[in-house]
Amino acid sequence: MSKYWSELTKKLDPYVPGEQPKDKKYVKLNTNENPYPPSPNVENILKGFQVDSLKLYPDPNADLLKDTLAKNYGVEKDNVFVGNGSDEVLAFAFMAFFNKNSRILFPDISYSFYPVYANIFDIPYETVKLKEDFTIPVKEFLKNNGGIVIPNPNAPTGIALTIEEIEEILKKNINTVVIIDEAYVDFGAESAVKLISKYENLLIIQTLSKSRSLAGIRVGYALGNKDLIEGLERVKNSINSYTIDRVSLMVAIESVKDNDYFEENCKKIIDTRTKVVSQLRKMEFEVCESSANFIFISHKTIKAELIFSRLKEEGVLVRFFNKERIDNFLRVTIGSPEEMEIFIEKIKTII
Amino acid sequence: MSKYWSELTKKLDPYVPGEQPKDKKYVKLNTNENPYPPSPNVENILKGFQVDSLKLYPDPNADLLKDTLAKNYGVEKDNVFVGNGSDEVLAFAFMAFFNKNSRILFPDISYSFYPVYANIFDIPYETVKLKEDFTIPVKEFLKNNGGIVIPNPNAPTGIALTIEEIEEILKKNINTVVIIDEAYVDFGAESAVKLISKYENLLIIQTLSKSRSLAGIRVGYALGNKDLIEGLERVKNSINSYTIDRVSLMVAIESVKDNDYFEENCKKIIDTRTKVVSQLRKMEFEVCESSANFIFISHKTIKAELIFSRLKEEGVLVRFFNKERIDNFLRVTIGSPEEMEIFIEKIKTII
């Protein structure tokens, strides 16, 4: 604690990302990265990149990327906001739409960055308790609130809401912004993009980090009615005019254009997930029904923390959250078939 | 204005960056970009980049880049913070060190993003009036305050403070953080880096956008005592864990290592500036004494706004600020000798 820190900084409780250890090479199943490389088009972009152009600022409005995303989702350009990863987009959305005098709602078991944003931007919140089976109690999101954030599928459970359930939440909250955080939607959940034209309170946030294999370039985006997008632009342009660099812009555009490759990879991951889930269930693991590129698992007799440590010793990293209700669970990213074979082998020796 | 915007968003008055027109090719002297390409090492980085690695998150702590910058400036790694351009670093610094109940100080004629940050983070401020000759009145920064931000050299004037003047400000403000924004320092001003070990209230902010010809990759950094750096890390990790992507990290590292190339370019720009200043003075222009890669000029008889419009028609973009005290001035980036010849030719036809 320093005397120079602002009152705000003193009370912060920053987010801690999954570890990125440098001591040895791990089978890394702890940060939900995609095991497959990005679209082959990305290679061409980097090889042919005009290095001289780096002396110039990027387009602050990222028009070409917005055009490409708009076309991809069948919306207009002014329905699209882009940012430096979906975390930045979420942070801007908290500033743009939530207030100091009205409690927002999000699930108690969810992305652990939400309370961090609420804290730094001084927004009061109430967590909605998931049911015993970790599904989201839709009715609890119909009470008075200053805004809602729900990941679909939820993290770290992987469990998805149906589009009808999301629509029910949107319909009953027409005066507040409902953020559906679709970071993992491409791995089996249904996107709410089609509801944008119907509900002006809906903001969808997605990312290229997971399903497009581009965690390394930091591009996330929001889709919603143009008033919401304009709110995000106002916040962004009060913090940083140029949030996405020239290389990332071009890489992102090429990646979004290559849907065949991306769909094929998503399908491979879903297939691997199906196989791994079946193997784990045979070994007395409880496995949540996942629509994401990770699974949330708990063993009937062996403590999650012990499995986590033993796996780490064996060179396999998964994510363990030492938090109430989920401290006997592990979140395991779905890697390549080869990585998951190693994971299953190690699990077998542990249990 | 949308009913969904937060109270904060409604009152924002976002920053407007220099225009990046797409209608035709301009001699672009309006956003202080460097006319020379980045270090030749950058080309090798892009050509040899392992595209597969983009599926993984970048190092959230940017350790290698911090090491490289620390070595370059003769400080320790924990004296270095890195961010997505110096604008983001400035925004985080406003959050980290300034409070809602104590007025900060910055010059009335200065980087126009400062009042925008103060506004979005609800920090009260007082502007200190520059002297008639646009130099900074050091004594005015010795009064009670909640923090200070001074660009050195100042923008858009290009006028620098001496290191002794900066030290006087630091010495008389030991209880508040003094930010010296050194975005343009490499073009002729003296850096205050050597004062970091002596003044724990000093935070220096620099960027690779200008002197390193890398506006396109978005990397800025702060240098200061480790408590200040930790404050910045706390804010950053409450907003976005991964602010710099994998490509930008590697490009930045290679660029910082190549000091010879960068010093040579700075020298070329200073030489061009000297020549252009002398030409303009002969044409009855008042030119502020610049230590930056831009000059701030005013003609004795012809209005700045008229010159701005005529130059634009002629395909030369400069920056005109329609603001009190400086609405008869133009800020002109020092481009290549060829670009400046065109600029001077066009000026001759206008006056």
Of B55, B216, B237, the CB nearest to A213: B55
**B329: number of Cβ within 10 Å:** 25
Q: Report if residue B46 sits inside a domain.
A: no
- pLDDT at res. B18: 77
Q: Is the CB of residue A262 less than 8 Å from the CB of residue A211?
A: yes
Check CB contact of A2 with chain B, cutoff 8 Å: yes
Query: How many Å lie between the alpha carbon of B152 and the closest alpha carbon of chain A?
Result: 20
Let me know whether B205 and B158 are in one domain.
yes
Interface test with chain B among A218, A233, A269, by most B beta carbons within 10 Å: A218
Q: Which of A224, A258, A292 is the C-terminal boundary of a domain? A: A258
Q: Report if residue A60 sits inside a domain.
A: yes
Q: How far apart (Å, rounded) are the C-alpha atoms in residues B142 and A321?
A: 49
B-contacting residues in A 239-268 (Cβ below 8 Å): 239-248, 251
Check CB contact of B122 with chain A, cutoff 8 Å: no
- Using alpha carbons only, give the angle A263, A265, A266 rounded to the nearest 5 degrees: 65
Closest residue in A to B121 (Cα) is A121
Let me know whether A148 and A243 are in one domain.
yes
Let me know whether A174 and A303 are in one domain.
no
Q: How far apart (Å, rounded) are the C-alpha atoms in residues A209 and A34?
A: 8
Contact A3 B31 (CB under 8 A): no
Q: Report if residue B2 sits inside a domain.
A: no
Let me know whether A105 and A160 are in one domain.
yes
Number of domains in chain A: 2
Contact B88 A240 (CB under 8 A): yes
Phi then psi dihedrals of residue A295, to 5 deg? -130, 155
Q: Which of A228, A258, A288 is the C-terminal boundary of a domain? A: A258
Closest residue in B to A36 (Cα) is B55
Contact B216 A54 (CB under 8 A): yes
Contact B84 A238 (CB under 8 A): no
Let me know whether A277 and A223 are in one domain.
no
Contact A14 B176 (CB under 8 A): no
Q: How far apart (Å, rounded) are the C-alpha atoms in residues A245 and B63?
A: 20
Helix H or strand E segment including A80: strand A80-83
Task: State which residues of chain A have pLDDT below 50.
Answer: none
Let me know whether A240 and A271 are in one domain.
no
Which residues in A lie closer than 8 A to residue B16 (C-beta atoms)? 237
Q: Report if residue A210 sits inside a domain.
A: yes
Let me know whether A178 and A63 are in one domain.
yes
Check CB contact of B201 with chain A, cutoff 8 Å: yes
Of B3, B9, B240, the CB nearest to A85: B240
Which residues in B lie closer than 8 A to residue A7 (C-beta atoms)? 99-100
Check CB contact of A52 with chain B, cutoff 8 Å: yes
Let me know whether B117 and B250 are in one domain.
yes
Let me know whether B137 and B240 are in one domain.
yes
Look up residue A78 and give its amino acid: D
Q: How far apart (Å, rounded) are the C-alpha atoms in residues A132 and A205?
A: 27
Query: How many Å lie between the alpha carbon of A282 and the closest alpha carbon of chain B?
Result: 31
Residue A218: give its domain's CATH number: 3.40.640.10
Q: Report if residue A2 sits inside a domain.
A: no
Let me know whether A94 and A160 are in one domain.
yes
Check CB contact of A91 with chain B, cutoff 8 Å: yes
Which residues in B lie closer than 8 A to residue A239 (C-beta atoms)? 87-88, 91, 117, 120
Among B141, B143, B214, which residue's Cα sits nearest to residue B179? Answer: B141
Of B15, B16, B245, the CB nearest to A248: B245
**Distance of alpha carbon B66 from its chain centroid, rounded?**
20
Q: Report if residue B333 sits inside a domain.
A: yes
Q: Which of A258, A283, A315 is the C-terminal boundary of a domain? A: A258
- The b-or-e profile of A31-63 (16+ CB within 10 A means b, else e) is bbbbbbbbbebbbebbeebebeebbbbbbbbbe
Let me know whether B319 and B344 are in one domain.
yes
Residue A320: give its domain's CATH number: 3.90.1150.10
Q: Report if residue A237 sits inside a domain.
A: yes
The one-digit pLDDT tens for each residue of chain B (351 residues) are 899 999 999 999 999 887 777 777 899 999 999 999 999 999 999 999 999 999 999 999 999 999 999 999 999 999 999 999 999 999 999 999 999 999 999 999 999 999 999 999 999 999 999 999 999 999 999 999 999 999 999 999 999 999 999 999 999 999 999 999 999 999 999 999 999 999 999 999 999 999 999 999 999 999 999 999 999 999 999 999 999 999 999 999 999 999 999 999 999 999 999 999 999 999 999 999 999 999 999 999 999 999 999 999 999 999 999 999 999 999 999 999 999 999 999 999 998
Let me know whether B207 and B87 are in one domain.
yes
Closest residue in B to A35 (Cα) is B55
Closest residue in B to A227 (Cα) is B2
Count of A-B CB contacts under 8 Å:
272
Check CB contact of B58 with chain A, cutoff 8 Å: yes
Which residues in B lie closer than 8 A to residue A39 (C-beta atoms)? none
- pLDDT at res. B302: 97
Q: Report if residue B326 sits inside a domain.
A: yes
pLDDT in tens, A204-229: 999 999 999 999 999 999 999 999 99
Helical ranges in chain A per DSSP H? 7-10, 40-47, 63-73, 85-97, 114-120, 163-171, 226-236, 246-257, 259-282, 304-313, 337-350
> What's the domain range around B109?
55-257
Of A5, A51, A99, the CB nearest to B97: A5
Helical ranges in B145-190 per DSSP H? 163-171
